[in-house]
Amino acid sequence: MAALSGAKHSSDPIVDDEYRIVLFEDREELWDIHARRHGMPLSFRGLDRRTGAGNLSRKQPLGRAIGSKATVVIDATAGLGHDASLLACMGWQVIGIERDPFLAAALDLSLRDAARCDELQDMLSGQLEFHCGDATSMLPTMEADVVYLDPMFTGRRSRSALPKKPAQVLQALVDPGDDQTLLAAARDRATRVVVKRPSDGPAIAEPDLVFPGRQVRYDVYLGARQ
């Protein structure tokens, strides 16, 4: 499991603004002060893997944005690994990078859980790996066809509802990065960079291509390795 600086074992009650990884015999969960009987599973089992649902189709906006010629995709903002695992299930070789050590440890545990599920193991084995580090520094040493970015969205949100739990966790643990610097580093290493944005959110630069979806869109920036 990824090294987690400052980690410690504890059986004390969870305090406010604390997130804790709780280990069970058959699963791992992420708990906060609001968790009672169970926390958020550290697992990729929640992915909609039904063929008929079209979620894994490369004809969807995400698949079209990545492109049919791509083989290796670097997810440089891996977070909790949803998009990285989805891309791997769609058949791409995916390397995820996460700079927050706590989230990197959670990603390793999610991969461990995938090994317990035969279907996920078949789909992800050899297709998905994660690394802990700063993507801007790591990208110059890596090879990929596409770099995928899902930068932290800091725009306004409706006051009527809080974001879903995974988004709450990411907002609590990860500070927004330098999007422009990361985009420049990504464009130097890939044929294209795909940036996920809210459908009504601003672009981080003028994209070369746009693939709109219902709630998100994918802005595509052509890279230096054309």
Q: In this predicted model, which residue has the larger pLDDT, 200 or 174?
A: 200
Q: In this predicted model, which residue has the larger pLDDT, 153 or 123?
A: 123
The confidence score (pLDDT) of residue 161 equals 45
Residues belonging to the chain: 226
Lowest mean pLDDT among 33-37, 93-97, 177-181: 33-37
The confidence score (pLDDT) of residue 57 equals 86
Cα(46)–Cα(82) distance, rounded to whole angstroms? 9
The confidence score (pLDDT) of residue 226 equals 66
Q: What is the pLDDT of residues 66-106, one digit of tens each?
A: 999 999 999 999 999 999 999 999 999 999 999 999 999 99
Residues of the chain with pLDDT > 70, as a percent, come to 88
Average pLDDT, the chain: 87
| Structural domains of the chain sorted by starting position, each given as residue range(s) with its CATH number in brackets | 20-222 (3.40.50.150)
36 has a pLDDT exceeding 90: no
Q: What is the pLDDT of residues 137-158, one digit of tens each?
A: 999 999 999 999 998 765 544 4
Q: Residue 122 — very low, low, confident or very high, per pLDDT cuts 50/70/90?
A: very high
